[in-house]
Amino acid sequence: MSKSFKVGIVGATGAVGNELLELLFKRNFPMASLTLLASARSAGKTVEHNGEKFTIKEAVPEIFEDLDIAIFSAGGGVSKALVPEAAKRGCVAIDNSSAFRMDPNVPLIVPEVNAEAIKGHKNIIANPNCTTAISLMALCPLHREFGLKRFFASTYQAVSGTGAKALMELENQVRQFANGEKIVSSVYPYQIAFNALPHIDVFQDNGYTKEEMKMLNESRKILSLPNLVCSTTCVRIPVMRAHSVAINAEFERPVDVEKAREVISKFPGAEVNDDPANLKYPMPLFYQRKEKCGVGRIRRDLAFENGLSFWVAGDQLWKGAALNAVQIAELL
């Protein structure tokens, strides 16, 4: 008989929280109970899913005593305060924030890539940044075949990565533009509609943003490649919920385009969508609400001797956040 788990979602009222709720049911996760948790101001509100009503409870330390697994998606501040509280009460915390990702005692997991690293966890498991998880759906199978040495990435990131208010802001700005009204920005420092912002997260002393450094540091940890080097530019674009990444990667061994397509197509988290003659390539519009990430535009890189250039697209709210977290729970 398979075991059922008492599951909690922390940050249940947010964009990722809504997707977690949907995916747990969609994938038939074995739940004895499901508790939706949020801040005190959301406590008492009800959420309906599949005809069932859930009342939001306040996320306080004591509540984790009655839970087996809690998936956190309420930001780094909440995670720093409550994840250790859950862990010490015997509840396994799967954390979507960046709070514990680089902690050497916390496994950072993408199930298709490093499932074995979950062994020996101390009740805290970290979920990687969205662009890292999506990029690794192409980089990992290529690394296993050719030996990844370094890569450059330019990201085209959806507003869903900023949260529900950003999704609303983009919709409002498009409407304001169409109606000839003044365009109002509050979530981003500049208008996002019909624009591209080469700025995601906080700028660091080296000129890169925190988001750009996550790609380097998290890829090293997940792939167990401490000497891997990469340089990333992260850009926010007016797309709703799927991220895209253009990658130029150099490998240790000679590359072959057909072999690259073959290994990616066999990788569980990816699908090859690569037929330029018929204008077929992954686009964010068509990778919303898809479990697999699309990889296309696969070609020999003209700057690297053993290099490949390619394009990846995947749903930020799914593989970039909620789906990966649910897959970690399934691993448990």
User: How would residue 195 be classed by pLDDT, with cut points 50, 70 and 90?
Assistant: very high
Helices (H), the chain: 15-26, 76-88, 111-114, 130-146, 164-178, 210-223, 257-266, 323-331
Q: Which residues are catalytic?
A: 130, 243
Q: At which residue do the structure tokens 């420092």 appear?
A: 189
The pTM of this model reads: 0.95
Phi, psi of 41 (to 5 degrees): -70, -20
pLDDT for position 1: 39
In the predicted structure, residue 46 carries a pLDDT above the cut 80: yes
Structure tokens at 300: 């020999």
What does the pLDDT average to over 49-63? 92
Query: In 3-state terms, what secondary structure has residue 108?
Result: strand
Percent of the chain with pLDDT over 90: 93
For 208-266, write each residue's pLDDT tens digit. 999 999 999 999 999 999 999 999 999 999 999 999 999 999 999 999 999 999 999 99
- The CATH fold of domain 132-315: Dihydrodipicolinate Reductase; domain 2 (3.30.360)
In the predicted structure, residue 117 carries a pLDDT above the cut 80: yes
What does the pLDDT average to over 32-42? 93
Rounded CA separation 286/174 (Å):
20
Neighbouring CB atoms inside 10 A of 104's CB total 6
* CA 219 centroid distance within chain: 13
User: How would residue 3 be classed by pLDDT, with cut points 50, 70 and 90?
Assistant: confident
The secondary structure of residue 19, as a DSSP letter, is H
Residues near 271 by beta carbon (within 8 Å), at least 6 away in sequence: 265, 292, 293, 294, 295
- Comparison of pLDDT for 63 and 3, the residue scoring more: 63
Instruction: Determine contact, residues 95/282, Cβ cutoff 8 Å.
Output: no
pLDDT for position 282: 98
Instruction: Determine contact, residues 49/13, Cβ cutoff 8 Å.
Output: no
Number of H helices, E strands in the chain: 8, 14
In the predicted structure, residue 188 carries a pLDDT above the cut 80: yes
pLDDT for position 58: 94
Rounded CA separation 196/210 (Å):
18
Rounded CA separation 163/57 (Å):
21
Residue 232 Rama label (left phi>0; alpha psi -120 to 50; beta)? beta
Break the chain into its structural domains and give their ranges.
5-127+322-331, 132-315
Q: Which H/E stretch holds residue 260? A: helix 257-266
Given the candidates 3.40.470.10, 3.40.640.10, 3.40.50.720, 3.40.50.9100, the CATH classification of the domain at 5-127+322-331 is 3.40.50.720
Residues near 313 by beta carbon (within 8 Å), at least 6 away in sequence: 134, 242, 243, 244, 245, 282, 283, 284, 286, 287, 293, 294
Q: 237-248 burial, b for 16+ CB within 10 Å, e for fewer?
A: bbbbbbbbbebb
Query: In 3-state terms, what secondary structure has residue 96?
Result: coil
Residues near 254 by beta carbon (within 8 Å), at least 6 away in sequence: 146, 306
User: How would residue 50 be classed by pLDDT, with cut points 50, 70 and 90?
Assistant: confident
Average per-residue pLDDT for the chain: 96
Rounded CA separation 3/140 (Å):
32
In the predicted structure, residue 295 carries a pLDDT above the cut 80: yes
What does the pLDDT average to over 102-119? 97
Query: In 3-state terms, what secondary structure has residue 29?
Result: coil
Structure tokens at 310: 């390619």
For 126-178, write each residue's pLDDT tens digit. 999 999 999 999 999 999 999 999 999 999 999 999 998 999 999 999 999 99
In the predicted structure, residue 2 carries a pLDDT above the cut 70: no
Best CA proximity match to 272, nearest among 112, 137, 133, 115: 137
pLDDT for position 49: 87
Best CA proximity match to 270, nearest among 319, 327, 221, 323: 319
